[in-house]
Amino acid sequence: MNIIEWIKQPWPWYVAGPIIGLMVPALLIFGNKTFGISSSLRHICAACIPTKVPFFQYDWKKEIWNLFFVFGVFLGGVLTALYFKDSASVVVNENLVHELSGYGITEINGLVPEQLFGWDQVGTLRGIILMIVGGFLVGFGTRYAGGCTSGHAIMGLSNLQLPSLIATISFMAGGFIMANVILPYILKL
Amino acid sequence: MQQKDNNTDFEVRSLDAMCVNDEQVQTPSWHNIKYLIMGVLFGVVLIKSEVISWYRIQEMFRLQSFHMFGVIGSAVVVGALSVFLIKKLKIKSINGEEIILPTKSFSKGQIYGGLLFGFGWAMTGACPGPLFAQLGYGATTIIVTIVAAIIGTWVYGKFREQLPH
């Protein structure tokens, strides 16, 4: 098997996790930067939505590295789609497949279900809740918490910060409540 | 008074957990390319490990798969070991600066905001990094989610004084 073929397969957790973990020292050593993604959303606000809100009154250009990083993540997605796309279908837990079929989600493929996140879904109540309300909560919640999975769960925990542990537990608790208690009602819509 | 005004920027920023570890050494702006390259690598890893898959996130929150716990867990172990070594060996950045990691202080926002983000994570199947990777990978509707996330961030900034912290 050549290297491109190997890259194309889904990577196991013990390959991906350590590479993600190495982002922490890489950013610290190459630029004295702490790993964190959600701040980019704040810099975009500061750069693109001119207002008198004090939270956005700072020199975002000083933090431009973060926007370069995020643009890189986007390009990484483009690069993978062009050269490293896996033709095999995704493997999903049987219980989840069964549960989703109960909501009429039968096409299990790609990284997000087309039947939930397709353009024809943007105008539906279910689509609005999942994409717009969900996106809003991601932006609002991460800034309120002062970081996301990268800034708190990976960077903060790596630095043994108790507030980051509290934040990470809250992320997981919120996710468990949503996925098991609330989401079934949304998916039924 | 003038001094206080000058400090406003710092005050506002210091309340946020991020963006405090500013590089003091001035570097030419093309040096930002290194962050672009690291971002590309991060994006490829996120996709190939399916961390950005809506299905994997649902499996994680239903305890149907170990995958996500393995990714995050091993990332933290490697990150923590790296931070320990950087501190222990007093490793400097390539610009010769001392690496000082910010300590975070507790705020109720970590609980309230954390729960709200958790809701959003389970709904969209993505945290902020993965949103950009999903968009790049061709899930074009995610631009809607990204715009909603930017608005969410803005609304937080607008009302942060009224929120419990």
Q: Is A125 near chain B, with CB under 8 Å? A: no
Spatial distance between the Cα atoms of A84 and B50, rounded to a whole number of angstroms: 13
User: Which of B15, B66, B68, B116 would best serve as a mutation to test chain A binding (most A beta carbons within 10 A)?
Assistant: B116
Q: What is the pLDDT of residue B12?
A: 40
A54 three-state secondary structure: helix
Spatial distance between the Cα atoms of A86 and B48, rounded to a whole number of angstroms: 9
Nearest Cα neighbor of B127 from B64, B163, B75 is B75
Half-sphere exposure of A173 (CA within 13 A, CB side): 13
Spatial distance between the Cα atoms of B117 and B131, rounded to a whole number of angstroms: 14
Percent of chain B with pLDDT over 70: 85
The token pair at A3 is 């290297």
Q: Is the pLDDT of residue B27 over 50?
A: yes
Spatial distance between the Cα atoms of B72 and A90, rounded to a whole number of angstroms: 20
Which chain A residues are Cβ-neighbours of B76 within 8 angstroms? Answer: 21, 153-154, 157-158
Interface of A with B in 51-110 (CB under 8 A): 51, 53-59, 62-66, 68-81, 84, 90, 92-93, 95-96, 108, 110
A71-75, B20-24, B132-136: least confident range: B20-24
Q: How many residues does chain A have?
A: 189
Which DSSP string do the residues of B38-81 spell out, in sequence order?
HHHHHHHHHHHTTTT-HHHHHHHHTT--SHHHHHHHHHHHHHHH
Q: What is the pLDDT along chain A (189 residues), one digit of tens a residue?
A: 688 888 888 899 999 999 999 999 999 999 889 999 999 999 999 999 878 888 888 888 888 999 999 999 999 999 999 998 887 778 899 999 999 999 999 988 888 999 999 999 999 999 999 999 999 999 999 999 999 999 999 999 999 999 999 999 999 999 999 999 999 999 998
Across the interface, whether the CB atoms of B123 and A155 are under 8 A apart is answered: no
Q: What is the pLDDT of residue B23?
A: 59
Q: Is the pLDDT of residue B11 over 50?
A: no
Across the interface, whether the CB atoms of B114 and A31 are under 8 A apart is answered: no
What are the residues whose beta carbons fall under 8 Å from the beta carbon of B10, sequence distance 6 or more?
Answer: none
Across the interface, whether the CB atoms of A175 and B60 are under 8 A apart is answered: yes
Q: What's the complex ipTM?
A: 0.94
Average pLDDT, chain B: 86
